[in-house]
């Protein structure tokens, strides 16, 4: 105990007060950083606190901190794990957090008033893919009978068709088939619903109980007509909840699917890469008032995170092992190195021993992963409409307006240009900002082969067998 550096913590406190006694030794790189920063303007707020949930896709935050990218921007950032997505969002709204690692649906949901009403915006998309659906060992045993095999191994992607007989069996016995997802507006909710519905299992509608906001449901359960009952569990608790038998499966980000494999309590059956190839996942959200008050700070935060994302994908994922080491620290994700490494380094283990190569399981930068595309926002809005969270029909214009309110590629562009000017990034690594519409071309790679075109949300909704159509009401 004597070796405890309690004294040095006191010392550091004293240092905070000791202003001005500055060493004259300066490194050249520091000077050049600051020279180029002049064009952008100094940050209005230098001490920031960002929240995150213990998931591997928070990596850009951890890397930007550990690699000093935040400090390079003159930002002194504290990164703090949060209990669940609700707490995280509330803290961003009430200002305890300056920004946070968020579900893509959270800024959108908050803006339209589903759940908590607040203006949250995002100028940075944190990653593509990274989720999977896991079922418990017992369910897998039943499911496996209906999965086609090749060379003794199941053929992927596994569709929910294989799960349907299991769910039907539960239904005939009058037992509820419970599954976990992480939040009503989470990617996981929509992905799980997408996968289930594609296999003919109804995941349930959100009842049209209008609250303060017209046309937006206040139901957060979404159990109407459901074959599979989905409920909310915070990501890190997923394995424990399934182990306890409360749920039979879940959709969650990493490392909580690989954790189930390591613990031997469940089997991941499908990754979201297989449900929708290169789907947008988390975003970095801040409140709109915050962004308006501290514009330079916001741009600098985005700059640091773009650099972190670049570092994560650099040289064909060469830095991933180092990233895993950072993430396995207890203040970040904190799971064992092996568990995090499984998915972060380009592989994914389904059944124990069935490790397959999925190089794009976690994408942080390539394919313009960090750019906030309007079409990504609109996809989430279509899913909110599909399942009744948006209880009234909305026009295509409405979808575009909301997307433009929440997704802010303009801020992203300023950050990227600043990086290009500083020589830290090449223009070729970004979309052509002058011409970029924010809409990706029609995307085909969904598990049910339905094509998504972000410019026509209502037409897209018409294509689903299960789900509300553009003009239907519950």
Residue ranges in contact with another protein by CB under 8 A: 1, 3-6, 8-9, 12-13, 15-27, 30-31, 33-35, 38, 42, 46-47, 54, 65, 68, 71, 74, 76-83, 87, 94-96, 234, 236-237, 239-240, 243, 259, 263-265, 328, 330-331, 333-336, 339
187 touches 103 (CB < 8 A): yes
338/410 with CB nearer another protein:
338
Least distance to another protein from the beta carbon of 275, Å?
25
100/196 with CB nearer another protein:
100
25/434 with CB nearer another protein:
25
Least distance to another protein from the beta carbon of 378, Å?
32
Give the span between the Cα atoms of 176 and 170, in whole angstroms. 7
12/472 with CB nearer another protein:
12
Give the span between the Cα atoms of 465 and 366, in whole angstroms. 33
Give the span between the Cα atoms of 462 and 452, in whole angstroms. 11
Least distance to another protein from the beta carbon of 24, Å?
7
Encoded tokens for 359: 């190089």
Owner of token pair 């399934």: 242
Least distance to another protein from the beta carbon of 6, Å?
7
Least distance to another protein from the beta carbon of 66, Å?
10
C-alpha dist (Å) from residue 70 to 16, 62, 75, 297, 306:
19, 10, 5, 10, 11
257/389 with CB nearer another protein:
257
Contacts of 453 by beta carbon, 8 Å cutoff, 6+ apart: 442, 443, 459, 460
* Cis amide prior to 231 (ω within 30 degrees): no
Least distance to another protein from the beta carbon of 191, Å?
22
Between β-strands 120-125 and 282-287, what pairing exists: parallel, antiparallel or unpaired? antiparallel
125 touches 280 (CB < 8 A): yes
Least distance to another protein from the beta carbon of 33, Å?
8
Least distance to another protein from the beta carbon of 92, Å?
12
Least distance to another protein from the beta carbon of 175, Å?
24
162/238 with CB nearer another protein:
238
Strand partners, 188: none
Mapping DSSP to helix (H, G, I), strand (E, B) and coil, where does residue 102 land?
Answer: strand
84 touches 234 (CB < 8 A): yes
Least distance to another protein from the beta carbon of 36, Å?
10
260 touches 193 (CB < 8 A): no
Question: How buried is residue 114: exposed, middle or buried, by Cβ count under 10 Å (0-12/13-18/19+)?
Answer: buried
266/388 with CB nearer another protein:
266
Between β-strands 99-103 and 128-129, what pairing exists: parallel, antiparallel or unpaired? unpaired
Angle at 406 between CA 403 and CA 407, to 5 degrees: 75
97/425 with CB nearer another protein:
97
181/377 with CB nearer another protein:
181
266 touches 272 (CB < 8 A): no
96/368 with CB nearer another protein:
96
171 touches 228 (CB < 8 A): no
Q: How far is CA 33 from the centre of its chain?
A: 31
256/452 with CB nearer another protein:
256
Encoded tokens for 394: 């909305």
Q: How many C-beta atoms lie closer than 10 Å to residue 433's C-beta?
A: 16
Least distance to another protein from the beta carbon of 244, Å?
11
Contacts of 252 by beta carbon, 8 Å cutoff, 6+ apart: 55, 131, 132, 134, 180, 181, 182, 188, 235, 238
296/455 with CB nearer another protein:
296
Least distance to another protein from the beta carbon of 14, Å?
10
């Amino acid at each position: 105990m004597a070796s405890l550096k309690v004294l040095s913590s006191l010392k550091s406190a004293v240092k905070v007060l000791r202003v001005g006694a500055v060493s004259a030794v300066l490194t050249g790189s520091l000077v050049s950083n600051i020279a180029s920063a002049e064009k952008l303007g100094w940050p209005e707020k230098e001490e920031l606190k960002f929240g995150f949930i213990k998931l591997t896709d928070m990596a850009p935050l951890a890397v930007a901190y550990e690699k000093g990218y935040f400090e390079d921007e003159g930002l002194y950032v504290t990164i703090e794990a949060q209990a669940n997505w609700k707490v995280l969002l509330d803290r961003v709204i009430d200002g305890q957090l300056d920004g946070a690692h968020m579900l893509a649906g959270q800024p959108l949901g908050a803006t339209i008033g589903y759940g908590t009403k607040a203006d949250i915006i995002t100028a940075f998309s944190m990653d593509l893919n990274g989720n999977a659906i896991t079922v418990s060992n017992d369910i897998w045993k039943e499911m496996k009978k209906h999965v086609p095999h090749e060379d003794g191994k199941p053929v992927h992607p596994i569709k929910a068709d294989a799960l349907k007989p299991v769910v039907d069996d539960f239904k005939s016995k009058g037992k509820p088939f419970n599954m976990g997802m992480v939040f009503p507006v989470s990617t996981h909710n929509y992905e799980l619903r997408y996968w289930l519905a594609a296999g003919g299992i109804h995941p349930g509608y959100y009842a049209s109980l209008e609250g303060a906001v017209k046309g937006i449901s206040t139901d957060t359960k979404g159990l109407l007509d459901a074959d599979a009952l989905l409920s909310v569990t915070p990501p890190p608790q997923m394995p424990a909840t399934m182990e306890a038998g409360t749920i039979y499966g879940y959709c969650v980000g990493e490392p909580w699917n690989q954790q189930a494999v390591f613990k031997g309590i469940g089997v991941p059956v499908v990754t979201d890469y297989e449900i929708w190839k290169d789907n947008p996942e988390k975003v970095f959200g801040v409140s709109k008032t915050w962004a308006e008050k501290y514009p330079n700070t916001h741009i600098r935060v985005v700059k640091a995170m773009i650099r972190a994302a670049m570092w994560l994908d650099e040289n064909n994922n060469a830095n991933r092992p180092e990233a895993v080491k950072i993430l396995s620290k207890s203040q970040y994700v904190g799971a064992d190195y092996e568990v995090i490494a499984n998915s972060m380094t380009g592989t994914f283990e389904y059944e124990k021993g069935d490790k397959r190569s999925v190089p794009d399981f976690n994408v942080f930068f390539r394919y313009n992963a960090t750019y906030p595309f309007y079409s990504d926002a609109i996809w989430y809005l279509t899913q909110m409409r599909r399942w009744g969270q948006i209880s009234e029909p909305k026009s295509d214009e409405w979808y575009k307006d909301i997307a433009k309110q929440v997704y802010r590629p303009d801020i992203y562009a300023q950050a990227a240009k600043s990086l290009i000017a500083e020589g830290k990034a090449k223009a070729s690594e970004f979309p052509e900002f002058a011409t970029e519409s924010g809409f990706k071309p029609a995307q085909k790679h969904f598990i049910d082969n339905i094509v998504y075109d972000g410019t026509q949300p209502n037409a897209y909704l018409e294509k689903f067998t299960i789900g509300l159509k553009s003009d239907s009401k519950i």
